């Protein structure tokens, strides 16, 4: 690992630290795919699936059938289903507590203000597949959507090059969670289908789930046609450690995150001993040597990591100092891997420093709100002078007339 001494401008000088960036060549490639899917629909999906996945998926084979799901149950170990049910129950309890609540404020003078939340109607979930299917992504995205009350959840996942089918574990998890629509399509073309719709795949209101750089760029480009969860990049972990931290735990946890393609790993520590040991143990990644843990927290906030493991003595002490992190894991027995699989909260997290302004996927991502406003005639009259002045300043005469019409003598206005 590369060893650096901390100062507040350090990360800005590091070319190897991958932050959110714009790739013109990638943009153009993805734009071409999305444009063709929008124009040619299912035919484009078939062409790109042949080109990128080596699988011929006609419009008739795009959608996974009930028979396909039943066949998947015969291809898995019998202990998989009870494990899934155990994990799902914990996640569902968490996300039921996570939902925002509607409220109503009745003020004096006849003004009532309220906010009501309603679930999105149709959500698309992208599940990476192929040679390394991310089965956990299914329940980490579907469960919060289901807890929010989403009526229609759609999954797209690329078919395996050898079998032409989606991994059976993905199909089973989706089935057990009540997902009725699953399609054999991946990559930027799948995002285009979800955003614009084709003859076979109806468009959705929101797209969530991780993917490679083409999927991430496609989500960026369709944002506005539909909502998305976030702009996700390579996975990353930062570990805050002191002299009490177990060197073997640190080594294993850093290597685990490095297992992801393009994964970024950081170790922030005030221990010279750990610095010397770790620089020889792990090849990739960055060690940031700080003078004390207060400075270490400043370094973490600059990194704004996807996963943060605080493995110091009295780890809880430092949580309040952390301003920017996707998920925070406390103590030696809370490795980031538990968040990937079993803890309950979603592992769909902001990456590339975007934890400064993005949050982890939650139930609230699957609801939208409406503002509810009611004025009585008396309360409108009390606001009359303010509206008159503001419409005068903005030069919007018809806005003022819209209000004044309520007070013309000839108007038949019911006093409510």
The span from the CA of 404 to the CA of 357, in Å, is 42
Q: Which of 169, 289, 307, 324 is catalytic?
A: 307
Report whether 136 contacts 150 (CB < 8 A).
no
d(CA 143, CA 358): 20
User: Nearest-CA neighbor of 126 among 137, 139, 115?
Assistant: 137
CA–CA separation, 252 vs 404, rounded Å?
A: 71
Would you say how long the chain is, in residues? 416
Question: Is 107 an active-site residue?
Answer: no
CA separation for the pair 375, 216 (Å, rounded): 45
142: CB partners within 8 A, 6+ apart: 125, 153, 155, 173, 174, 177, 179
State yes or no: is 121 an active-site residue: no
Q: Measured over all CA atoms, what is the biggest interatomic distance in the chain, rounded to whole angstroms?
A: 87
**Alpha-carbon span 122 to 370, nearest angstrom:** 18
For strands 111-119 and 367-375, give the pairing. antiparallel
Closest of 301, 267, 268 to residue 284, by C-alpha: 267
Sheet with strand 307-310: strands edge to edge? 2-5, 286-289, 264-269, 236-241, 307-310, 327-330
The catalytically annotated residue of 169, 306, 324, 347 is 306
User: Which run of H or of E encompasses 112?
Assistant: strand 111-119
Enter the DSSP assignment of 306: S
Nearest to 206 by CA among 318, 121, 289: 121
Strand order through the sheet with 111-119: 103-106, 111-119, 367-375
Q: With left for phi above 0 and alpha for psi between -120 and 50, is residue 263 left, alpha or beta? A: beta
Question: DSSP letter at 228?
Answer: E
Token readout for 387 is 């509206």
Q: Which residues are known to be catalytic? A: 306-307
């Amino acid at each position: 690992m590369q060893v650096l001494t901390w100062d507040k401008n350090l990360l800005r000088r590091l070319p190897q630290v991958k932050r959110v960036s714009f790739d013109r060549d990638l943009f153009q490639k993805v734009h071409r795919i999305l444009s063709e899917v929008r124009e040619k629909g299912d035919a484009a999906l078939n062409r790109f699936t042949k080109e990128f996945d080596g699988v011929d998926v006609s419009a008739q084979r795009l959608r996974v059938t009930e028979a396909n799901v039943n066949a998947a149950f015969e291809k898995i170990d019998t202990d998989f289903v009870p494990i899934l049910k155990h994990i799902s129950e914990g996640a569902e309890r968490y996300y039921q507590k996570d939902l925002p609540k509607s409220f109503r404020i009745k003020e004096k003078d006849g003004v009532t203000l309220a906010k009501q939340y309603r679930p999105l109607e149709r959500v698309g979930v992208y599940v990476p597949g192929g040679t390394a299917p991310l089965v956990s992504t299914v329940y980490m995205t579907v469960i919060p959507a289901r807890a929010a009350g989403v009526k229609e959840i759609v999954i797209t996942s690329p078919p395996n090059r050898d079998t032409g089918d989606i991994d059976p574990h993905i199909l089973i998890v989706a089935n057990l969670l009540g997902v009725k629509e699953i399609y054999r399509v991946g990559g930027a073309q799948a995002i285009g289908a979800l955003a614009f719709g084709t003859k076979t795949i109806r468009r959705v209101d929101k797209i969530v789930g991780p993917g490679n750089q083409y999927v991430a760029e496609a989500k960026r480009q369709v944002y506005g046609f539909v909502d998305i969860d976030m702009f996700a990049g390579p996975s990353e972990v930062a570990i805050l450690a002191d002299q009490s931290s177990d060197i073997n735990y640190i080594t294993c946890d850093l290597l685990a995150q490095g297992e992801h393609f393009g994964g970024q790993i950081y170790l922030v520590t005030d221990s010279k001993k750990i610095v010397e040991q770790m620089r020889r143990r792990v090849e990739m990644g960055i060690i940031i040597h700080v003078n004390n843990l207060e400075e270490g927290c400043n370094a973490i906030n600059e990194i704004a990591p996807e996963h943060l493991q605080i493995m110091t003595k009295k780890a809880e002490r430092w949580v309040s100092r952390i301003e920017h992190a996707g998920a925070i894991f406390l103590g030696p027995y809370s490795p980031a891997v538990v968040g990937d699989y079993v803890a309950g909260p979603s592992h769909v997290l902001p990456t590339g420093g975007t934890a400064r302004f993005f949050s982890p996927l939650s139930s609230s991502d699957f609801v939208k709100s409406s503002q509810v406003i009611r004025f009585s005639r008396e309360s409108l009259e009390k606001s009359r002078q303010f509206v008159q002045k503001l419409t005068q300043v903005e030069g919007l005469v018809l806005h003022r007339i819209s209000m004044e019409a309520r007070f013309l003598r000839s108007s038949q206005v019911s006093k409510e």
